[in-house]
C-alpha cells in the first residue's frame, strides 16, 4: 500500500471519485511548487496532508484564472469561477474535481469555509492590478489578496481555534513570501507587462521600468534588488514566531516552509541582476538539508505519540 493511499485513508477520503480527485490535485500541486509539496508529504500528519493539498490546488487554480490572458478574458473567467464556487459551497456538491476536493476538505475542516468566502470577496483585487505607486498600495494588495489567499492554507494548520495573534503572524509571513515572489518572478512579470515594484521605490533608487526590461546590470539595479530582498528576508525572519502558534505536530512543516523561503532569498541574492532574466532557486542540497532536519523532528514527534 502506497503512502498516498494511506494518507487518503487517514484523511477520511474513501469514495473512489474523491480519491481520484485528490490524487489529481496532488499532481498539480507537485508541479506547482515541488519543495513545498514534498514538505507537505513528509512533515504533516497524513490525515491533514491531502486537505492542505486541496486548499493549495484551489488557491493556485484561482490565481491562474486571475493572472493569465487579456483583462476581459480574465474578468469573465473569474466571474464565472466565483459563481461556480459559491454555488458549489451552497449546494455542497460540484462536477469540478478542484471543487469536489475543496468541498470535502471544508466538510472535514469547517474553519476553511469562512476563509474561502473571504478570499472570494477580495480576489478580484488581482484583476484590477495595475502596479503600485506607493508602499501603501502594496500593503493594500497584501491585505486584500495575498493574506486572504494564504489564510485558506494557514487555517488548516491551526484548525481548532486560531490564536488571537495568529493572523498577524501569518500577515508577517505572507508579506515576506509575497515580496520574495515579486522579486523572484521579475523576469516573468516584466515579460507579461506586469511591474510589481512600487514606483516610489524605483524612484528612490534611480531605476526606471525601462532599465528593468532592458536587463541592465547597473549599480542602481543591484542596490534595488538588495533592498527588495532585504525587505523579504526581514519579514520572513520576523514571522518565525508563527511556529509556536500552531500545534506541535505541524511545527516542523511551518519551520520548513519559512526556511525554504529564506533559502530562496539567499539564492536570489546570489543571482543578483540575473533575476531580470530568470528566477532563482535554492540549491538541491540546501533543500534536502532543510527537509531532512525537519523530518527528524517529525519522526521524533510521531514516536512520542505512538
What are the tens digits of pLDDT across the range 251-290? 999 999 999 999 999 999 999 999 999 999 999 999 999 9
Q: Rounded to two decimals, what is the model's pTM?
A: 0.94
Q: How confident is the model at residue 164 (pLDDT cuts 50, 70, 90)?
A: confident
Domains and CATH numbers, the chain: 1-128 (1.10.600.10), 131-306 (1.10.600.10)
Q: Which residues, including other chains, have CB under 8 Å from residue 225's CB and lie 6 or more apart? A: 183, 268, 272, 273, 275
Residue owning grid cell 540546501: 286
Q: How many CB atoms lie within 10 A of CB 219?
A: 9
* pLDDT beyond 80 at 160: no
The reported pLDDT for the residue numbered 126 is 83
What are the tens digits of pLDDT across the range 45-85? 999 999 999 999 999 999 989 888 788 888 999 999 999 99
Report d(CA 135, CA 219) in Å as an integer. Answer: 23
The reported pLDDT for the residue numbered 223 is 97
Please say whether the beta carbons of 202 and 251 come within 8 A: no
The reported pLDDT for the residue numbered 56 is 95
Q: DSSP of 92-147, one letter per residue?
A: T--S-HHHHHHHHHHHH-THHHHHHHHHHHHGGGGTT----SSHHHHHHHIIIIIH
Report d(CA 11, CA 205) in Å as an integer. Answer: 50
HSE-CB of 80 using CA atoms within 13 angstroms: 8
The reported pLDDT for the residue numbered 72 is 86
What are the tens digits of pLDDT across the range 100-115? 999 999 999 999 999 9
Q: How confident is the model at residue 238 (pLDDT cuts 50, 70, 90)?
A: very high
Amino acid at each position: 500500500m502506497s503512502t498516498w493511499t494511506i494518507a487518503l485513508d487517514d484523511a477520511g477520503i474513501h469514495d473512489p471519485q474523491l480519491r481520484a480527485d485528490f490524487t489529481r490535485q496532488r499532481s498539480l500541486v507537485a508541479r506547482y511548487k515541488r519543495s513545498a509539496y514534498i514538505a507537505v508529504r513528509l512533515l504533516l500528519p497524513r490525515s491533514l496532508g491531502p486537505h492542505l493539498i486541496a486548499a493549495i490546488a484551489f488557491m493556485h487554480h484561482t490565481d491562474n484564472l486571475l493572472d493569465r490572458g487579456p483583462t476581459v478574458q480574465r474578468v469573465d473567467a473569474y466571474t464565472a469561477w466565483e459563481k461556480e464556487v459559491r454555488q458549489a459551497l451552497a449546494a455542497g456538491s460540484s462536477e469540478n474535481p478542484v471543487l469536489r476536493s475543496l468541498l470535502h476538505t471544508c466538510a472535514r475542516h469547517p474553519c476553511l469555509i469562512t476563509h474561502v468566502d473571504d478570499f472570494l470577496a477580495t480576489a478580484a483585487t488581482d484583476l484590477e492590478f495595475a502596479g503600485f505607486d506607493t508602499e501603501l498600495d502594496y500593503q493594500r494588495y497584501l491585505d486584500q489578496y495575498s493574506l486572504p489567499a494564504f489564510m485558506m492554507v494557514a487555517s488548516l494548520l491551526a484548525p481548532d481555534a486560531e490564536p488571537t495573534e495568529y493572523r498577524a503572524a501569518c500577515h508577517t509571513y505572507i508579506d515576506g513570501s509575497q515580496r520574495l515572489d515579486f522579486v523572484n518572478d521579475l523576469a516573468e512579470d516584466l515579460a507579461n507587462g506586469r511591474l510589481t515594484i512600487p514606483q516610489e521605490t524605483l524612484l528612490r533608487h534611480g531605476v526606471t521600468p525601462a532599465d528593468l526590461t532592458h536587463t541592465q546590470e547597473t549599480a542602481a539595479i543591484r542596490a534595488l534588488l538588495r533592498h527588495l530582498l532585504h525587505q523579504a528576508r526581514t519579514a520572513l525572519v520576523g514571522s518565525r514566531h508563527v511556529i509556536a502558534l500552531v500545534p506541535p505536530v505541524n511545527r516542523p512543516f511551518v519551520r520548513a516552509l519559512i526556511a525554504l523561503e529564506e533559502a530562496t532569498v539567499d539564492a536570489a541574492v546570489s543571482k543578483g541582476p540575473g533575476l531580470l532574466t530568470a528566477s532563482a532557486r535554492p540549491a538541491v542540497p540546501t533543500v534536502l538539508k532543510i527537509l531532512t532536519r525537519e523530518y527528524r523532528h517529525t519522526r521524533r514527534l510521531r514516536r512520542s505519540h505512538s
